Each structure stands twice: as structure tokens, then as C-alpha cells.
């Protein structure tokens, strides 16, 4: 139940319903169910179905395919946050003998480890996992198709390897660890490796006739960490809130923000489409906004989770057909409809409760050579630095507690910012990764670069 200020307008609800109705009808799918999240809670749910009087609700399970990968990535990042491994570690350090051990954990998370897209035949999505009992059966005789770290190449076996890594470090099955460390803490009671009533059946719809064929429901075995899960719009809506805000019971806000950052070099086709990949999350620029999330498909099912972080709107779309509506487009449209019809209302401006005078002294205009920049204090206790006008390098910086800051994004990500003071305590300049920022262009009082022409600034004689 939503509070009045969180309810969507009737016109917005109608537009959302229209969008999924078109998707279900034109996509020729037996059923389609969707949800929209705003402000940390579900504000709309809709369903369309080919069965009269039967409308799937937020508790009906559908298979979610590769959205499972995002759950597996969360488990790996928990290990990193606990100090059990580093993302730069080669796989061989923790899981020896796979044949793909030179790939780092980060590269596997970002699909840039050079692994093949699929496991060897027969098609793993439509055959029993018992045919591939060992990791070697999943990886095959030639598991690496590309130089490690050189390109983004989506890999289902790569996430199977990550699931095996979780099992090795935790000393328990991937399913047990997932239940204990993610599903239970987040209250995802209808997300599981196997379906339980009520759940949808998977169907293949004939491409040239309005007839259907029931799809088999296979247990994926070793491939489970890449695509096994069943879930609901209700649970995935809660998962979307977690991926936006973080939850200290599972992963903090800083780590989920890291998951949403690009981590893999894009293919040429991805550059055209404005797409990239983070750590277990797909990224896409569409309709002028950055969207993060993941899509999923298995025989009989399609799924999509789309989050517009800046708009604070997320959408979940699930359907039970092998091919049909393009759910990534449906999900992004649902986000766009809400974001444009009912733009996010910003929080009221409030003054800081306290401010360090030594930091306040740094606020204002600075120059890198002749480029004008402004340093501002941010509400979270950090600072931001960006050009006063036009395009240029900009970043937010996190306070380190020792009078320095670390860049969080862009060119200055990871770089150190500090104020350099004279013997009398006054500020000489800012040092940002060896770049000198001064109060005047090429300030003569600065050690580097300082004014260099003894005649100073002059016109053309």
C-alpha cells in the first residue's frame, strides 16, 4: 500500500498499462507481468494474459534466466568486501586447475575474461545439467576464445566459474550461500532455484501461427549460477531497491554503486547502442538517461530488470515465452513513462549541520593553468571539482579523514586531492594527482607551474 504522495497518477497508470498491453499483444506471449518501483517501494503492478479471468499477480514465479548472474555477482562482491579475495586476483589463486586461471575475478564479473559464450554442445539451456557434472564439462577443451582482458564477450561459463569460486571459498553450495547471504536477508521469499506454486509454465509460440509448444523445465546443474533462478515481480522489485540503495546486511551503497560502473571494454556494436557492462550489471544509455539492470532468457521465459538510478524509478517485466516482446525496450519504456510524466521531486535543500573551516576555505574558484574550475562542498562531507563552464574533467571526491580526498569518478577516479599549505598555514595550491590548481591563472606564487614569463600577462604590441 502506498502513501498518497507516492501513488502514480491515473494517466501514468494508464500509459503503463497500455505499454504492457501492446507488448503482450504484439509479442504474442501467453502472459506478461510488470511492476514499477519508485521511492524504494512498488507503486504499480500490471498484468496481461491470454487466459480470461486469470491475471498473474506479484507472487507468481517466472524463470528469470541471466538475472541470476547479478545475484552471483553480489555473492562474489561480498567475499571481496570481507577481505576473502581481491577483484584483481587471478582465478587460479582461489580456484586452481580450471584452465582459465589467468583471468581475474573482475574480468570474469565483467565478461572480459576471454571465455566462450556457451558451454559445449548439446545446448545447455534445453538439456539436463546432469550432462555436465564437472566444471571441465562446462568449460570444454577450448574454454578461452579471446585474449584475457582485451574485449567484452558475454560468457555463461564465466559465471558458472564464479559460482564454483563462491562454493570453494565458502565451503558450501552456491544455492546454500545464496539463500543464507542474499535471499533471506533481503526477504526474497519467492526467489528460488526451483519453482513453487503459483508459477507460470514456459511456452514456445510458433513464429507463423498462433499455436504453442510447452517448453521443458531443466535443472541447469553446474550452470545454475548463470541462469537457474525463478522469481516474481514482487521480489525483483525489492532486489531493484537493493541495487539502487544497497543494504548493509548484504552489500553497502558504495559496493552496489561499484557494480553499476562500467568495467569492461565495449564491443563496437555496443558503442553504437550506448551499452556497457559493470560488475554483474548491464548498462545502457537510452532516452537520455543511464539505465542499469539485467535481462534474462531461458526456453519458455524472458525477463528484464531496468533501473533509472537518477530518476529513482525501476521496472520489472516477466513473461513466459521463448521469444516474443523485446523486454529491454519495455522495461526502459516503463521507466521513461514514469520519469517523464512524474519527474522526481528533489529533496529540500538543507544547510550543512557543521563544516570544517579549513575545508570551507578551499571552496570557490581555482585555475588549472588558464582553465577555470570551482570547488564545492558536498552534503556527504566530500567535495566536488568541475569546470566553471563548458565541458571538462569533473569529479566528486570522498574525504579520507586526513585532510585529503579521493576521486570517485571520471578522469580523477582514485586520484588524490590535497591542499598544499605554506609554512604560515595559508593555502598555496591544490595538488590533484600532480596537477596544480591555483587561485589565479598560472599564479606566480605557486611552485609549479607558476608564472614563467618575467614580463607577465601582456597584450600584443
**DSSP of 303-324:** EEEEEETTTTEEEEEEE-BSS-
> Environment class of residue 338 by beta-carbon count within 10 Å: exposed (0-12), middle (13-18) or buried (19+)?
buried
Name residues whose C-beta falls within 8 Å of residue 86's C-beta, 6 or more positions apart in sequence: 80, 105
Percent of the chain predicted with pLDDT > 70:
96
Residue 262: pLDDT above 80? yes
pLDDT at 266: 66
Provide the β-strand partners of residue 406.
398, 416
In this structure, how many other beta carbons lie within 10 angstroms of the beta carbon of residue 370? 7
Collapsing DSSP states into helix, strand and coil, what is residue 15?
helix
Digit-coded pLDDT (tens) for 411-427: 999 999 999 999 999 99
DSSP state string for 281-307: -EEEEETTEEEEEEEEEETTEEEEEEE
Task: State how far the Cα of 157 lies from the Cα of 230, in Å rounded to an integer.
Answer: 19
Name residues whose C-beta falls within 8 Å of residue 154's C-beta, 6 or more positions apart in sequence: 111, 117, 277
Average confidence (pLDDT) over 84-108: 96
Provide the β-strand partners of residue 374.
365, 386
Average confidence (pLDDT) over 165-194: 98
Q: pTM of the full predicted structure?
A: 0.89
CATH architecture observed for domain 357-437: Beta Barrel (2.40)
Task: State how far the Cα of 59 lies from the Cα of 227, in Å rounded to an integer.
Answer: 20
CATH architecture observed for domain 26-341: 3-Layer(aba) Sandwich (3.40)
Collapsing DSSP states into helix, strand and coil, what is residue 418?
strand
Average confidence (pLDDT) over 146-174: 96
Residue 446: pLDDT above 80? no
Name residues whose C-beta falls within 8 Å of residue 101's C-beta, 6 or more positions apart in sequence: 90, 91, 92, 93, 95
Residue 34 C-alpha from the chain's centroid:
20
H/E element, 203: strand 203-205
pLDDT at 273: 64
Digit-coded pLDDT (tens) for 335-367: 999 999 999 888 898 898 889 999 999 999 999
- The domain ranges of the chain are 26-341, 357-437
Q: Is 192 left (phi over 0), alpha (psi -120 to 50) or beta?
A: beta
Mean pLDDT, the chain, integer? 92
Residue 310 C-alpha from the chain's centroid:
13
Cell of 113: 575474461
Amino acid at each position: 500500500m502506498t502513501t498518497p504522495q507516492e501513488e502514480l497518477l491515473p494517466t501514468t497508470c494508464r500509459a503503463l498499462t497500455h505499454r504492457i498491453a501492446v507488448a503482450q499483444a504484439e509479442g504474442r506471449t501467453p502472459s506478461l507481468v510488470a511492476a514499477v518501483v519508485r521511492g524504494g517501494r512498488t507503486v504499480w503492478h500490471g498484468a496481461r494474459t491470454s487466459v480470461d479471468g486469470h491475471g498473474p499477480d506479484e507472487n507468481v514465479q517466472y524463470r528469470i534466466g541471466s538475472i541470476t548472474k547479478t545475484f552471483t555477482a553480489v555473492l562474489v562482491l561480498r567475499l571481496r568486501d570481507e577481505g576473502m579475495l581481491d577483484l584483481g586476483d587471478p582465478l587460479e589463486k582461489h580456484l586452481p586447475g580450471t584452465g582459465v586461471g589467468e583471468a581475474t575475478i573482475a574480468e570474469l564479473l565483467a565478461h572480459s575474461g576471454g571465455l566462450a559464450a556457451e558451454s559445449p554442445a548439446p545446448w545447455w539451456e534445453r538439456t539436463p545439467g546432469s550432462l555436465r557434472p564437472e566444471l571441465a564439462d562446462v568449460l570444454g577443451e577450448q574454454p578461452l576464445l579471446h585474449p584475457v582482458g582485451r574485449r567484452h564477450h558475454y560468457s555463461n561459463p564465466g559465471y558458472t566459474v564464479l559460482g564454483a569460486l563462491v562454493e570453494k571459498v565458502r565451503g558450501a553450495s552456491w544455492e546454500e550461500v545464496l539463500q543464507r547471504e542474499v535471499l533471506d536477508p533481503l526477504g526474497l521469499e519467492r526467489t528460488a532455484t526451483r519453482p513453487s506454486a503459483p508459477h507460470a509454465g514456459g511456452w514456445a509460440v510458433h513464429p507463423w501461427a498462433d499455436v504453442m509448444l510447452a517448453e521443458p523445465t531443466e535443472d541447469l546443474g553446474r550452470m545454475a549460477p548463470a541462469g537457474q533462478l525463478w522469481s516474481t515481480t514482487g521480489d525483483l522489485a525489492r532486489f531493484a531497491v537493493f541495487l539502487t540503495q544497497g543494504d548493509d546486511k548484504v552489500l553497502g551503497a558504495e559496493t552496489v554503486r561499484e557494480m553499476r560502473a562500467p568495467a569492461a571494454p565495449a564491443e563496437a556494436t555496443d558503442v553504437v547502442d550506448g551499452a556497457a557492462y559493470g560488475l554483474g550489471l548491464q548498462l545502457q544509455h537510452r532516452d537520455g538517461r543511464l539505465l542499469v539492470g539485467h535481462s534474462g532468457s531461458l526456453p519458455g521465459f524472458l525477463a528484464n530488470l531496468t533501473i533509472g538510478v537518477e530518476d529513482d524509478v525501476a521496472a520489472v517485466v516477466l513473461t513466459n515465452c521463448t521469444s516474443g516482446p523485446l523486454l529491454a525496450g519495455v522495461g526502459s519504456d516503463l521507466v521513461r513513462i514514469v520519469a517523464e510524466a512524474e519527474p522526481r521531486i528533489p529533496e529540500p535543500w538543507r544547510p550543512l549541520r557543521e563544516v570544517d573551516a579549513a575545508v570551507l576555505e578551499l571552496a570557490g574558484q581555482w585555475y588549472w593553468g588558464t582553465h577555470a574550475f570551482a570547488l564545492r562542498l558536498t552534503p556527504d562531507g566530500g567535495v566536488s571539482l568541475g569546470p566553471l563552464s563548458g565541458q571538462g574533467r569533473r569529479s566528486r571526491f570522498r574525504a579520507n579523514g586526513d585532510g585529503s580526498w579521493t576521486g570517485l569518478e571520471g578522469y580523477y577516479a582514485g586520484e588524490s586531492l590535497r591542499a598544499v599549505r605554506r609554512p604560515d598555514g595559508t593555502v598555496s595550491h591544490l595538488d590533484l594527482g600532480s596537477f596544480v590548481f591555483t587561485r589565479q591563472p598560472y599564479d606566480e606564487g605557486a611552485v609549479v607551474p607558476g608564472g614563467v614569463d618575467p614580463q607577465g600577462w601582456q597584450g600584443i604590441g
